[in-house]
Structure 1
């Protein structure tokens, strides 16, 4: 069907039928007649998707802090598929950092793979940050040294930080 030659009104009526269930839920959150043109719809759509693309690791922000901030935002971006979330998460890593360089050479295919790679760099960041501190400098809870944890407090590689993306 040549949708390019269809009026804006017809596009807005046809379009919901082409969406996935999650996308339809997003679309129908808008009150009737609140989207009055195709251009307005496109603007709202990109606003939903771009909320993740615009999240980048800030100068001086730890990798762990960036990932936690991204994951909090990702929970609200239900319309964005996991592949899009992974792409945005990867793209937001500080450019030319060690992790960024590795990700440029070898991309990741899942959130778990990204988190597993990031854990190594988080542990390194934390070790460097704690270098020179005496044991009494840290007043936080002491961890059991017999349990190996990663930068997110996980004890094995199968748990995900802050829940599953998209739930």
Structure 2
């Protein structure tokens, strides 16, 4: 069955799926919202297309009439079409390519490093610390590391804040 789209259904704070990101993330978000709203299978089928845009909406519109038999069927077809966009698995070694640029403030490097670190699952603390230290350019913070190697992420954070403040004060 081809479903009619609920044109005035609006899922609050849910990004529209355009076909360029991991479809599993979009489905997980959508299914969580539908579960909370205690919606039926038919309502999910009607609501799902309202979360699509661009290429993804074109794909949905191209489905033959009556070709979707259930919400699970719709999800299976959606995943089959967009699964190539799934996120690439990242590993601890990805942190080793993040380097503090010449003239880059410590704060900016730490922000870039943290973004990369958050994309990697189940990282041991020692691997995070090693990656962070490996990417530091020569300077006061990198020189302080061998004197007292950080043992926890909170220890790193305390020390980083101290050196970020020192950099900030030196610029003033």
Shorter chain as denominator, the TM-score bin is 0.3 to 0.5
Structure label with greater radius of gyration = 2
Q: TM-score under structure 1 normalisation?
A: 0.47
Higher helix proportion: 2
